[in-house]
Structure formats: structure tokens, C-alpha cells
Homo-oligomer: A and B are copies of this chain.
Amino acid sequence: MRRTLSVVEYSGEEEVMAAVAKALSHPVRLKILKLLASQTCCFTGELTELIPMAQSTISQHLKALLEAGLIRGEINPPKVKYCINKENWLKASTLFARFFISSKKCHCDCG
């Protein structure tokens, strides 16, 4: 991909929020997060039974959520127990909340 000569600068917040948003940008990942969140306790690989997708594909989506910091995986071979990463979840929640509140400043008449 050709890149701009003068590179666009982003704030840390912009980078982090974009990364989290990207993790949330696929419906199956939202579904996975909701399933993990709805358990009274953490969860393992019933995901493969609940979601009709190849095991390798679900594993890939889990990896994306892990890398975004939204979930944690506790290895307990041969199983892995996934759950919400509460600390980062809270951070993400705050980030999005602040972002959406920020537009309240705008007092235009057009909508």
C-alpha cells in the first residue's frame, strides 16, 4: 500500500480506541464477548458448539480479542478457559463513553 509522504500523527487514545473498535467490528466477536460475559463464571470451548464456524476460525477471533486485551485466556491443558479481561474492559468502556460524550459540545442546528 502506498503511504503518505507526511505521516499522519495520532494520539495514543486514538490508536487504542481504534484498535478496540476494530476488535468489536465483527459480529461474531461481539457474540463471543456476549457469551463470555453472560456466564456466571468463565468459559471454555463450548463456543465451537454454540457458533457454527470452523474451530480454527473461532480460535482466530479469540486471538484477535486477546490481542486487543478484551479477554484473558487461562491455559489449563488441553483446555483453555477464556473470560472477559475486566480491567481493560472498564478502560475500553470509559474510552468509548468519553468519546461519545464529547460530541455534546456541538450546538449546530443541522441535526
**Residues on A close to B: CB < 8 A?**
4, 6-8, 10, 14-15, 17-18, 21-22, 24-31, 33-34, 36-42, 51-54, 72, 74, 81, 83-87, 89, 92-93, 96-97, 99-103, 105-111
A83 CA to B25 CA in the complex, in Å? 23
Contact flag A96-B100 (CB < 8 Å), given A18-B25, A21-B25 = yes
Distance of A1 Cα from B90 Cα, bound (Å): 35
Residues of B within 8 A of A51 (CB): 8
29 A-B pairs with CB atoms under 8 Å apart are A4-B52, A6-B52, A7-B52, A8-B27, A8-B51, A10-B27, A10-B28, A14-B30, A17-B30, A18-B25, A18-B27, A18-B29, A21-B22, A21-B24, A22-B22, A24-B25, A37-B103, A38-B102, A38-B105, A39-B106, A40-B105, A41-B106, A41-B107, A42-B110, A72-B110, A85-B111, A86-B111, A87-B111, A96-B100
